[in-house]
Amino acid sequence: MTGPIPNAALLDPPPMTAERFAAIERDVARVLQTEQDVVVLQAEAILALEAVARGLGGAGTTCLNVITGPYGAHFGEWLAAGGAEVVDLEIPLERAVRADEIEAVLAERPEISVLSIVHAEVATGTVNPMAEVAEVARRHDVLTVVDAVASVGGHALGIDELGLDVVMVGPQKALGGPAGISAVTVSDRAWAALAAAPNPWRGSILSLLDWKERWIDADRTQIPGTPAVLELLALEAACARVLAEGLDAGLARHARISAACRAGVRGLGAQPWVDEDDQACRLTTAVRLPDGVDRAALVDRAREAYGVVLTPGGGDLRDVMVRIDHMGPAAEPRTALAGVAALGAALTDLGSPCDVGAGVRATIDALAG
């Protein structure tokens, strides 16, 4: 190969010092608005989820795992793999869990000590009511473990105010950051529970206790392992962008685009997967496929004819819904307008007529309001 190497600067990033690593952790804490310990893990969010499941899901532990989509189901599998008894609470995929449903299980099974739940399930387009869930968990004195990989930046969470014990975060969704890094917030109660396990998970990349011992308790003077410099710098930049916009402004932007997109879908004559607006995830608008419409053909038509990517549903929903994603920097008016117009036009092209003009007008009216 001859000539200059494209993006050669990426091959020689500046060194990552312990001081800068710790500063990035503080940036993450500011974005999350928490005083709890933040552990930045140098891998995608799947590692954060597995690390928490392995740490808290040991033998002798009974966990209530709320399933409102595929990510909740996977977390339960990881808890069980660690030896925990897992009580799955499966909720219809077109709605959020209700606090009274969780209350009923905790009242019936007082031995449950851990409650795990996904805040926002992008795969199904739902968001769970964390304030009500956290109140129930406090009454029953169970640890709350929250998968907020998607929600943070698009939905308010209130980690400290709600008393959430463990929250897993990935910056690649509403925060608009890199996918190859993640973070976990850990309360004092959760650290104590991790340490008190009969066989604490140690000597592993999945061990949060190892990170605490080697990094937090050692005054953050030496980074355990080799730092993933590019991912850390990208996380730093993502946090800076979020903080520069303002946390409340970012939440409001996601809410505005979500409302406009849902209004546009209804204007088309299509049916949102989640009927209730307050149960709909603000990062995506999930749409139920009309009878007789092939999902693959619809996605292909929207992309090839109109230049818009529609995302299939997750898991069992792959062939019954599509999504218009609007998260992070993409939560902007043109995403909603293009998504609604392309969805309506592609459905019409495939023999399921929509009122594209009405859908676009409804989107515009919602944006203007």
Is residue 244 over pLDDT 90?
Answer: yes
Is the domain of 279 the same as that of 338?
yes
Asked if residue 8 belongs to a domain, the reply is no
Task: Locate all alpha helices (DSSP H) within 214-246, ordered by sequence.
Answer: 229-245
Same domain, 227 and 83: yes
Q: Are residues 172 and 109 in the same domain?
A: yes
Give percent above pLDDT 90 in the chain: 89
Same domain membership, residue 225 and residue 258 = no
Q: Are residues 303 and 194 in the same domain?
A: no
CA distance 286 to 295: 13
Tokens of 272: 């949102």
Q: Is the pLDDT at 8 greater than 70, yes or no?
A: no
> Same domain, yes or no, for 57 and 201?
yes
Is there a single domain that holds both residue 219 and residue 288? no
Domain membership of residue 230 (yes or no) is yes
Regarding whether 294 and 232 lie in a shared domain, the answer is no
My answer on whether 229 and 300 are in the same domain is: no
Would strands 284-288 and 182-186 be described as parallel, antiparallel, or unpaired?
unpaired
What is the rounded average pLDDT of the residues 177-203?
93
Amino acid, single-letter form, for residue 284: T
**Average of per-residue pLDDT across 182-199:** 94
Domain-ending residue, one of 245, 265, 288: 245
Q: What is the pLDDT of residue 189?
A: 97
85 φ/ψ sector (left φ>0, alpha ψ -120 to 50, else beta)? beta
**The pLDDT value given to residue 1:** 47
Is residue 2's pLDDT more than 70?
A: no
Classify residue 6: in a domain, yes or no. Answer: no
pLDDT surpasses 70 at 94:
yes
Residues 6+ apart with CB under 8 A from 260: 333, 336, 363, 366, 367
Place of tokens 């709890």: 36
Same domain? 204 vs 183: yes
229: pLDDT strictly greater than 90 = yes
Instruction: Please provide the average confidence, as pLDDT, over all residues in the chain.
Output: 95
177-179-181-183 Cα dihedral, nearest 10 degrees: 70
> Has residue 124 been placed in a domain?
yes
Task: Give the pLDDT score at 62.
Answer: 97
In a domain, 5, yes or no: no
CATH code at position 272: 3.90.1150.10
Domain that includes residue 262, residue range: 247-368
Is 280 found in the same domain as 132?
Answer: no
Whether residue 214 is found in the same domain as residue 255:
no
Strands (E), the chain: 37-41, 62-67, 85-90, 114-118, 120-121, 126-127, 143-147, 166-169, 182-186, 271-272, 284-288, 311-312, 321-325
Query: For the domain that residue 139 is a member of, what is the CATH number?
Result: 3.40.640.10
Residue 3 lies in a domain: no
- Judged by average pLDDT, the poorest of 24-33, 130-139, 312-321 is 312-321
Q: Domain boundary at 189, 215, 245, which?
A: 245
Q: Is residue 313 part of a domain?
A: yes
Q: For the chain, how many structural domains are there in total?
A: 2
What pLDDT, in 10s, does the model give residues 320-357?
999 999 999 999 999 999 999 999 999 999 999 999 99
Q: What is the sign, positive or negative, of the torsion defined by CA atoms of 352, 356, 360, 362?
A: negative
The reply to whether 351 falls in a domain is: yes
Lowest mean pLDDT among 50-59, 252-261, 331-340: 50-59
In this prediction, residues 199-204 reach a mean pLDDT of 86
What's the mean pLDDT in 78-107?
96
Q: Which pLDDT score is estimated for 12? A: 82
**173: amino acid identity, one letter:** K
Q: Which of 191, 222, 245 is the last residue of a domain?
A: 245
Amino acid at the residue 200: P
Q: Report the half-sphere exposure of 322 (CA within 13 A, side-chain side).
A: 27
pLDDT tier, 78 (very low <50, low <70, confident <90, very high otherwise): very high
Rounded to an integer, the average pLDDT of 188-209 is 91
By percentage, how much of the chain surpasses pLDDT 70?
Answer: 98
